[in-house]
Amino acid sequence: MNLVGNLLIAPPAVKGNFWHKTMIMVTEHTMQGTLGIVLNKPSDFSIEQFGDRLNLDLNIPGSIYIGGPISGQSLTMLHTNEWLSKNTLRVNETFNLSSADDILPRLSAGDRPIKWRLFLGMCGWAHGQLLNEIKGVAPYQHQNSWCVATPNMKLVFDSQGKDQWCAGLDQSASEFAQNILV
């Protein structure tokens, strides 16, 4: 199963932990493991406040998002694929992920992708772990299995928080129903 570029949506049964109402984009899936970023958890930091901490003039509306519990100091930007940095990973035909020291100065200068979001941290799974979580293979429980959906620009960039999570669940359910009818 090729997970790269797909969305993982926490089912409603997941409660009381970091993953509650999360939607994640899988950015890498190799023999070493899987990486992704949580798309819908804005932090308390605005982009402008984040820039102030780094002595950068980032007079840009929006929030820094919590990409996950791993490497909380690492900054990445998920964005449309027409824009590249010194270190850009192509996720799929629509989305790129960049992590380079030139991102913030370029944003400050007005050099920006069409759509983008900044993240601190990421998610990670050991080899085989994520597939077992999706399938509900023990020790993971089926009622907590990730829902999977295909991303689109609106779903990824045009909402956040619970609204984005709900839209992801709707997308996953719609795709599931279409696959059953085929």
pLDDT > 90 in the chain, percent: 79
Query: Is 82 within the bounds of a domain?
Result: yes
The pLDDT of residue 130 is 95
The pLDDT of residue 181 is 64
Q: How many separate domains does the chain show?
A: 1
| Residue 2 CB contacts under 8 Å (≥ 6 apart), including other chains | 29
The pLDDT of residue 125 is 97
The pLDDT of residue 24 is 98
Longest CA–CA separation in the chain, Å: 55
Instruction: Tell me the pTM.
Output: 0.93
pLDDT(182) > 60: no
- SS in 3 state form for the chain? CCCCCCEEECCCCCCCCCCCCCEEEEEEEECCEEEEEECCCEEEEEHHHHHHHCCCCCCCCCEEEECCCEEEEEEEEEEECCCCCCCEEECCCCEEEECCCCHHHHHHCCCCCCCEEEEEEEEEEECCHHHHHHHCCCCCCHHHCCEEECCCHHHHHCCCHHHHHHHHHHHHHHHHHHHHHC
Report pLDDT digits (tens) over 68-119.
Answer: 999 988 999 999 999 999 999 999 999 999 998 889 999 999 999 999 999 9
Determine contact, residues 24/37, Cβ cutoff 8 Å: yes
Query: Is 139 within the bounds of a domain?
Result: yes
Query: Is 174 within the bounds of a domain?
Result: yes
For residue 96, give the CATH number of its domain: 3.40.1740.10
Residues of the domain holding 97? 7-181
Query: Is 2 within the bounds of a domain?
Result: no
Report pLDDT digits (tens) over 123-156.
Answer: 999 999 999 999 988 888 888 899 999 999 999 9
Q: Give the separation between CA 63 and CA 103, rounded to whole angstroms.
A: 15
Residue with tokens 């696959």: 179
